Amino acid sequence: LLIDPTGRKMSKSEGNVIWLSDSADEQFGKVMSWPDTMILAGFELCTELSHGELTAIDGELQSGVNPRDVKLRLARAITARLSGEEAAQRAQGNFLATFSGGETPDDAPEIAVSEGETLVDVLARSGTVASKTEARRLIESGAVETASGERLTDPRAPAPKSTVLRIGKRRFLKIQ
Query: Does the pLDDT of residue 169 top 80, yes or no?
Result: no
pLDDT at 41: 92
Model confidence pTM above 0.75 = no
pLDDT at 40: 94
Report the range of poorest mean pLDDT among 17-21, 62-66, 119-123, 166-170.
166-170
Query: Does the pLDDT of residue 101 top 70, yes or no?
Result: no
- Helix H or strand E segment including 144: strand 144-146
Integer Cα distance of 29 and 92 in angstroms:
9
Answer for the pair 157, 175: CB distance below 8 angstroms, yes or no. Answer: no
Report the range of poorest mean pLDDT among 104-113, 129-138, 162-171.
104-113
Provide the 8-state DSSP code for 1. Answer: -
